[in-house]
Amino acid sequence: MNSQTFRALVELQMAFGSYEVGVIEKTPIPDLALTRESRVGEVALECVGIKRELDRASEVSHIFTLPAALREGTLPLSKALGRWHATLEGARSALARNEQEIDGIAQRLYGLTDDNVAAPAVITDEEGPPVEPDEEPGVDQLGPEGQRELSAQLLSWSIGCVLGRFDVRMALDRSLIPALQGPFEPLPACPPGMLVDPDGLPASRNRIVSDEWLRARPDAITPPPSGSVAPPTISDSEYPFAVDWDGILVDDPEHDDDVVRRVREVLHVIWGDGADGIEQEACEMLGVKELRDWFRNPRNFWDDHIKRYSKSRRKAPINWLLQSSKRSFALWIYYHRLDGDMLAKALTTYVEPKVRREETRLAELRAAFEAQQPTGAAARKAERDIERQEALVSELVEFRAAFDRATKLGLQPDLDDGVVLNIAPLHGLVPWKVARQYWDELLAGKYEWSTVSKQLRTKGLVR
């Protein structure tokens, strides 16, 4: 039904290009049981297998395992991404050959000859510059957009590892990666690359499966028989690094949960002493001077993340950026850890300590100025330092006030409402116009079915 011949027969029945009900039903389908063309199913399954292998590198796929940069181990990014380009080209050529074979089979089944059918445009291995067997494909073959995308994938996966979404051990030991289930088997409860517990569900504190458990599962949808693996779990301290179970990261170089510091931990676990070089490669491919620029500027990671987790009209970013007005401070909140206490915890654990720390520094700068009474250039520098610190404190106080207002709404999140309705109450903190749009619509009385709308009505906030 995906062959050129079948599509042509369908289009012959179309009136002015409009698809009508019943057309597919009326289109004749040859009985393969009465022919010798049994290979059509084999070729179709080969196509499915090729596409599934590519999807194993897609973070939003139900069979995601590892980002493309780690598919062949811990190589330098330029070499790993060059090989990924070769993989894509090989898949493209194989799919084109298979599609051509299926078209030929369909043509014979319908009793058509080459004279009846227009020759399709076929992509062959010969098209494009050849790659010698002993020659490594260069990263430049990917182009700037391809390099940016695959480096962004790596950093997105790294944040997922820090937050306990993905399992970093699979990048270190490929024997831990499960085989895929059959294409007609049920979908996995979690993608193969996720960090899971012995029930095959997302891991939680001190419920991370052991390496032995991972090796013992037959495929991505089948856990080992109960009691067959000892030990089935490991403690958090046995995992390669500390998972951030509270689901909150911060853009603050002085904090232990700083997003850049934590991502660097992942890179060091994978590449060891070569991690700094990998970080530099990634920054060059992303077009930023340093890693913090990638996470701090909303036009970079945040926009990339929204695009990655959006499809058609559905927008569902799972790592939320809550940022101060001049981007001097920010929190990253993991949607799947969201609960009724998360905002209050973020306020008391991250925001308020930051404000107090910077207020103390401002007081120290003022006290030093009064005590030293500098003159000339030293005085001007001291005054500029105080002004900058005053601006920072003012920005943080404003951020705290907006955060406090959102917290005092007292809304209980409900993940069944979806991302956009849960993020809407944080519209004053999120650099995303969509959040404000949905907040306005909630206050106007839309989405009455949702838990958040019902809570707003109870509080008398719906206009």
Q: What are φ and ψ of residue 75, in 5° steps?
A: -90, 160
4 contacts: CB under 8 Å, gap ≥ 6: 103, 106, 107, 117, 120
**Distances, alpha carbon 185 to alpha carbons 182, 192, 236, 278, in Å:** 5, 14, 32, 38
What is the end-to-end Cα distance of the chain in Å, rounded?
52
Residue 7 confidence (pLDDT) above 60: yes
Q: Could you read off the pLDDT of 303-320 as tens digits, one per residue?
A: 999 999 999 889 999 999
Q: Is 333 helix (H, G, I), strand (E, B) or coil?
A: strand
- In the numeric block, the tokens 């499809």 are attached to 311
Task: Give pLDDT, residue 34.
Answer: 66
Task: Give pLDDT, residue 137.
Answer: 43
Whether 235 and 206 have beta carbons less than 8 Å apart is answered as: yes
Residue 122 confidence (pLDDT) above 60: no
Please state, in angstroms and rounded to a whole number, the distance separating the CA atoms of residues 451 and 457. Answer: 10
Q: What are φ and ψ of residue 333, in 5° steps?
A: -115, 130
* Cα torsion 208, 213, 219, 222: sign: negative
Task: Give pLDDT, residue 11.
Answer: 86
Question: Strands 314-315 and 310-311, how do they pair?
Answer: antiparallel
- Residue 98 identity: N
Task: Give pLDDT, residue 272.
Answer: 95
Question: Strands 319-323 and 248-251, how do they pair?
Answer: unpaired
Q: Could you read off the pLDDT of 172-223 as tens digits, one per residue?
A: 999 999 999 999 999 999 999 999 999 999 999 999 999 999 999 999 999 9
119 contacts: CB under 8 Å, gap ≥ 6: none
- Residue 138 identity: G
Task: Give pLDDT, residue 186.
Answer: 94
Which pairs with CB-CB distance under 8 Å and at least 24 residues apart come from 387-393? Answer: 389/358, 389/361, 389/362, 389/365, 390/362, 391/326, 392/328, 392/358, 393/355, 393/358, 393/359, 393/362
> Across-strand partners of 293?
none
Q: Could you read off the pLDDT of 68-104 as tens digits, one per residue?
A: 999 888 888 888 888 898 999 999 999 999 999 999 9
Q: Could you read off the pLDDT of 428-440 as tens digits, one per residue?
A: 999 999 999 999 9
Task: Give pLDDT, residue 128.
Answer: 40
Task: Give pLDDT, residue 119.
Answer: 52
pTM tops 0.85: yes
